Amino acid sequence: MRRSIMPNRSRLVALALGLGLSAGLHAPAPAQPRQVPETRQQITLSFAPVVQKTAPSVVNVYGARVERRPQNPFMDDPFFRRFFGDGGFGLPREQVQRSLGSGVIVDAAGLVVTNNHVIQNMTEVKVALADKREYEAEIVLRDPRTDLAVLRVKGARDLAAIELGDSDALQIGDLVLAIGNPFGVGQTVTQGIVSALARTQVGVGDAQSFIQTDAAINPGNSGGALVDMQGRLTGINTAIFSRSGGSHGIGFAIPSAMVRVVVESAKSGAVLVRRPWFGARLQALTQEVADGLGLDRPAGSVVASVVEKGPAAEGGLKRSDVILAIDGVAVDDPEGFGYRFATRPLGGTTQLTVLRGGKRITIPVKLTPAPETRPREPVKVGGRSPFTGLTVMNLSPAVAEELSIDPSTEGVVVAMIEENSAAARVGFQKGDLVLAINGERINASRDIELATRERKRAWEVTISRNGQTVTSVFGG
């Protein structure tokens, strides 16, 4: 089916280019004459050499976590334990939650990159190589912002590491292969093209600029490899657009430029990915604003606020500036800019092309990490209150950067929420700013610990979420 469609598509493209000559387009290259295969080598052209080179680098990743069911109160009675066992009414007290995905060997010493959602909340991780050997693995680094994680295979050496390619060199229409373990059936290879680049509205991770492909990607492919025709890793398959749960030809991969940043952080021994700090908040450029600025299209990012003494402010960036490009590469929206900026190495400077007052200027911004201006002092709230299960910490530019919240905000932020806790049930979310409890202002993480020591019949809580302040009352 695909072979019969491609020639027709080629003729349509050639016709479109021909009609566009009057508009100043370059004349298309002469069409290559079609030929009947004349040799056996031409008839048996195959992707097999690329697969043979890359498949040993793709692994299966298995995660597991043991969950304990609450003790049934009847089990305190020996009579009930005699008839129903320790599990309670025939149900086991422990249940095992499992996850299945794929991964890619990126270092011969045993480093494997996969998706964070594959191993999220898992306490045991195993890796199965393409030759069926299985090893235990430890989680070296998690990066929820990009939905990437790095594992280290225990006891394995001289593994078949893949070469990292240059995702910035990809073009729409390039052939690619997706390799992974869909539905747990075993290692599977699918073929397609790069359907689009710099997709930012995917809803996975924060630093978004995904490669879109029509190579079939299904559940279990997460963390697998997207490779080019030279056998280089160009992306980590991470998400699909689907109404049924299966492949509809719209899959997304994290570019290798971002993968490289996370892998290099793991190799350096870091437990967190250190990225350059921008120190400004951006908004998308609307058509109305673009018309007012004399732009032919709404491409770029408007500076909404600038953090005092941050890299953007020191470079001279101002509120209402429009960022059009970074190091000469156009960026259409804040997500695209965030991706480009996050993949820049620390140290040195990057050059921003900015529109200000109808003129284009260049602004240098230093590539430095976000500072820890105040101690985090993380506090995990216990006791019995709506806050039980929260881990809160003091805000600083570094914490704001890690949680992807407004860098100009101050106060106490929700950094983690324990599953099935009281805090999770009442609806707290990661990134919430806790402003007040029962009318008392919260200025530090320890304030929440003090405010929840005593039980109360009712709790009045004021939080800030996505710039909106909300006050709610919960029962004690």
The whole-angstrom separation of Cα 36 and Cα 44 is: 13
Catalytic residue (choose from 102, 195, 222, 445): 222
The whole-angstrom separation of Cα 166 and Cα 234 is: 6
Closest CA to 122 of 145, 103, 153, 97: 97
* Known catalytic membership, residue 26: no
Q: For residue 439, with 0-12 CB atoms within 10 Å meaning exposed, 13-18 middle and 19 or more buried, which class applies?
A: exposed
In degrees, to the nearest 5, what angle opens at C-alpha 418 toward C-alphas 421 and 275?
155
Q: For residue 125, with 0-12 CB atoms within 10 Å meaning exposed, 13-18 middle and 19 or more buried, which class applies?
A: buried
Q: In the structure encoding, which two tokens stand for residue 253, read together?
A: 């991969």
* Known catalytic membership, residue 158: no
Catalytic residue (choose from 143, 147, 214, 406): 147
Q: For strand 163-164 and strand 175-180, is the pairing parallel, antiparallel, or unpaired?
A: unpaired
Contacts of residue 65, Cβ cutoff 8 Å, sequence gap at least 6: 96, 97, 98, 121, 122, 123, 124
Catalytic residue (choose from 57, 99, 102, 117): 117
| Residue 201 and residue 234 in contact, taking contact as beta carbons nearer than 8 Å | no
Q: In the structure encoding, which two tokens stand for residue 354, read together?
A: 């900015």
Q: In the structure encoding, which two tokens stand for residue 14, read together?
A: 């050639």
Q: Catalytic site residues? A: 117, 147, 222
